[in-house]
């Protein structure tokens, strides 16, 4: 037999009317739908953890705990409706009304000394924490894909660019390890951020704490937190975690947009360095000769959305009073899930692109051959082998290159006599400099010459690849530890409820 409370039962003695239809339609219903989609599992988890505390304090009997826990477990996304006359279109009241309706007799102390403020703050943070975990997972997978691409193209020359001009010989592997290094650093920051925000607001009450002897440490553990927030006002007033996560995602999206810019350029007909399969490509409706890569444009545009959402979080929180406010607790975070989903889409799509991208080795080699990418090496060798002062060596190398360009000569068309003449004019005997020129403008030599740690030499890059893979293993272990903590906490709450039920039925 269910509780016979009527749906028209009042939730408040302070106001006599339910929210207006317009307020319900434009504000409360969308908020209700958002919380049902993203926060409902966390609300139920919190309710169950607090049931254990009510029992510990002797306010609810063991059998009543089990009955309420069973009713809570029956709630799903189809169970609750936003009814302005019945639950004020509020999910916390909707859960309360559902339990009241589906229990024989609701214990009088259930929801005693409770506030929606810390209840909502905790559920929101649990959702944010889960989103951060999922983002870290996608980033770790992206690093593994970057490593595969880097390993495949570690010895494949391509032009590197500075100031949008061809500069030195690099490889796709060299480039991909730079991106991987950036992603690994971002993961480290996000894991540090996770540890910093993993503090439970539950027990903060409306703003000033609670009046019963809640064990906030135990509640935090039951919900997978490391500890409770130490100050009650901070627990309900702060939504810094949305700003911190949003800032990290925004900053990371900037780097990704620059990566996308390079991929877009490399895929253009002018560069012709990369190819994507037909299923990741597009066509022109009027120019049949074209094969476009709109997925790269989509990805770059999506990174802009990520930063825009962060700006939205900042603007919605700034200049608000430091206390619990709907403005900060709900409105300011209304696009958090969208920012997370957008970043998740970018990471999944980019990973997919990188798994299928093909670098066109001959096109990249041809581009290297037509540019004087060994000018830096040439100047260094003039100093090391002929004792030409560094700055003068730069001038002499520049004069040689300009002379060859003016005569429309390619780098491999060595002109020893030209450099000897330039040397004589500067007072240096450069006899035998042909070997120097061959070494300077040999593409493979250009890769090998950059032998410092972090340089383009394949040996250096393979050492870095090994270091990154070790770092990746450690980051994966940390990620798995966080995930295990959450899973164990959720399971332990269920186990503790089950133990209470067994005690009640066997006593």
pLDDT value at residue 10: 61
Residues 391 and 331 in one domain: no
Same-domain check for residues 279 and 414: no
Q: Is residue 483 part of a domain?
A: no
Same domain, 409 and 313: no
55, 78, 112 — which closes off a domain? 112
- Is the domain of 131 the same as that of 105? no
Residue 237 covered by a domain:
yes
Q: Which residues of 205-242 are buried (b: 16+ CB within 10 A; e: fewer)?
A: bebebbeeebebeebbbbbbbeebbeebbbbbbbbebb
Residues 223 and 140 in one domain: yes
Q: Where is the domain boundary, 83, 112, 141?
A: 112
User: Where does a domain end: 84, 112, 140?
Assistant: 112
Query: 167 — phi, psi (to 5°)?
Result: -130, -60
Q: Are residues 396 and 357 in the same domain?
A: no
pLDDT of residue 8: 42
> Could you tell me if residue 472 is inside a domain?
no
Q: Is residue 297 part of a domain?
A: yes
| pLDDT score, position 282 | 83
The answer to whether residue 449 is domain-embedded is no
Inside any domain, residue 4: no
Q: What is the pLDDT along the chain (507 residues), one digit of tens a residue?
A: 444 444 444 666 677 888 999 999 999 999 999 999 999 999 999 999 999 999 999 999 999 999 999 999 999 999 999 998 889 999 999 999 999 999 999 999 999 999 999 999 999 999 999 999 999 999 999 999 999 999 999 999 999 999 999 999 999 999 999 999 999 999 999 999 999 999 999 999 999 999 999 999 999 999 999 999 999 999 999 999 999 999 999 999 999 999 999 999 999 999 999 999 989 878 777 877 778 899 999 999 999 999 999 999 999 999 999 999 999 999 999 999 999 999 999 999 999 999 999 999 999 999 999 999 999 999 999 999 999 999 999 999 999 999 999 999 999 999 999 999 999 999 999 999 999 999 999 999 999 989 889 999 999 999 999 999 999 999 999 999 999 999 999 888 888 887 665 554 444
309 shares a domain with 384: no
Q: What is the pLDDT of residue 14?
A: 76
Domains in the chain, number: 3
152: domain CATH number is: 1.20.200.10
Residues 195 and 296 in one domain: yes
Provide the terminal-to-terminal Cα distance of the chain, rounded to the nearest Å: 24
Domain of residue 389: give its range.
Answer: 374-440
On whether both 355 and 385 belong to a single domain, the answer is no
CATH code where residue 421 lies: 1.10.40
Per-residue model confidence (pLDDT) at position 503: 55
396 part of a folded domain? yes
* 147 in the same domain as 93: no
Token pair of 429 as six digits: 């005997």
The DSSP annotation for 365-430 comes to: HHHHHTS-TTHHHHHHHHHHHH---HHHHHHHHHHHHHHHHHTT--TTS--HHHHHHHHHHHT---
pLDDT at position 379 is 96
Whether residue 481 lies inside any domain: the answer is no
The pLDDT of residue 501: 55
Say how far apart CA 336 and CA 131 lie, in whole Å. 9
**Residue 300 and residue 233 share a domain:** yes
Same domain membership, residue 200 and residue 74: no
- Give the pLDDT confidence score for residue 15 in this predicted structure: 77
């Amino acid at each position: 037999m269910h509780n016979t409370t009527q749906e028209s039962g009042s939730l408040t003695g302070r106001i006599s009317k339910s929210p207006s239809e317009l307020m319900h339609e434009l504000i409360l219903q969308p908020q209700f739908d958002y919380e049902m989609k993203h926060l409902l599992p966390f609300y139920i988890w919190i309710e169950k953890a607090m049931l254990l505390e009510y029992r510990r304090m002797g306010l609810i009997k063991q059998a009543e705990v089990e009955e309420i826990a069973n009713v809570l477990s029956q709630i799903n996304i189809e169970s609750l409706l936003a009814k302005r006359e019945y639950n004020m279109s509020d999910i916390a009241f909707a859960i309360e009304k559902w339990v009241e309706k589906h229990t024989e007799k609701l214990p009088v102390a259930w929801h005693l000394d409770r506030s929606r403020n810390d209840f909502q703050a905790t559920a929101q943070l649990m959702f944010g924490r889960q989103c951060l975990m999922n983002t870290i997972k996608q980033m770790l997978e992206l690093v593994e894909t970057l490593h595969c691409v880097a390993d495949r193209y570690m010895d494949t020359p391509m032009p590197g660019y500075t100031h949008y001009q061809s500069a030195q010989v690099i490889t796709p592997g060299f480039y991909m390890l730079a991106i991987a290094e950036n992603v690994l650093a971002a993961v480290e920051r996000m894991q540090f951020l996770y540890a910093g925000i993993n503090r439970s607001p539950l027990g903060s009450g409306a703003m000033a704490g609670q009046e019963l002897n809640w064990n906030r440490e135990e509640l935090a553990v039951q919900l997978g937190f490391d500890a409770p927030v130490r100050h009650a006002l901070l627990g309900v007033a702060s939504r810094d975690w949305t700003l911190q996560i949003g800032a990290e995602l925004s900053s990371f999206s900037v780097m990704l947009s620059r990566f996308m810019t390079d991929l877009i350029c490399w895929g253009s007909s002018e560069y012709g360095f990369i190819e994507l399969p037909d299923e990741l490509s597009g066509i022109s409706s009027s120019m049949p000769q074209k094969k476009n890569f709109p997925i790269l444009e989509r990805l770059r545009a999506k990174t802009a959305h990520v930063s825009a959402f962060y700006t939205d979080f900042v603007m919605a929180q700034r200049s608000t009073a430091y206390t619990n406010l709907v403005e900060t607790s709900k409105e300011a975070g209304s696009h958090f899930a969208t920012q997370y989903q957008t970043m998740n889409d970018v990471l999944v799509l980019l990973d997919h692109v990188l798994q299928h991208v093909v670098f066109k080795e001959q096109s990249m080699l041809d581009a290297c051959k037509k540019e004087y990418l060994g000018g830096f090496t040439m100047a260094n060798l003039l100093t090391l082998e002929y004792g030409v002062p560094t700055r003068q060596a730069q001038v002499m190398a520049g004069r040689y290159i300009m002379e060859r360009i003016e005569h429309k000569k390619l780098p491999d068309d060595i002109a020893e006599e030209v450099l000897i003449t330039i040397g004589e004019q500067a007072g240096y005997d450069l006899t035998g400099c042909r070997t120097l020129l061959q070494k300077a403008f040999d593409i493979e030599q250009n890769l090998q010459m950059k032998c410092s740690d972090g340089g383009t030499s394949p040996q250096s890059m393979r050492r870095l690849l090994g270091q990154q893979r070790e770092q990746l293993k450690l980051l994966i272990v940390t990620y798995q530890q966080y995930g295990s903590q959450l899973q164990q906490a959720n399971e332990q709450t269920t186990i503790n409820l089950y133990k209470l039920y067994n005690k009640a039925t066997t006593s």
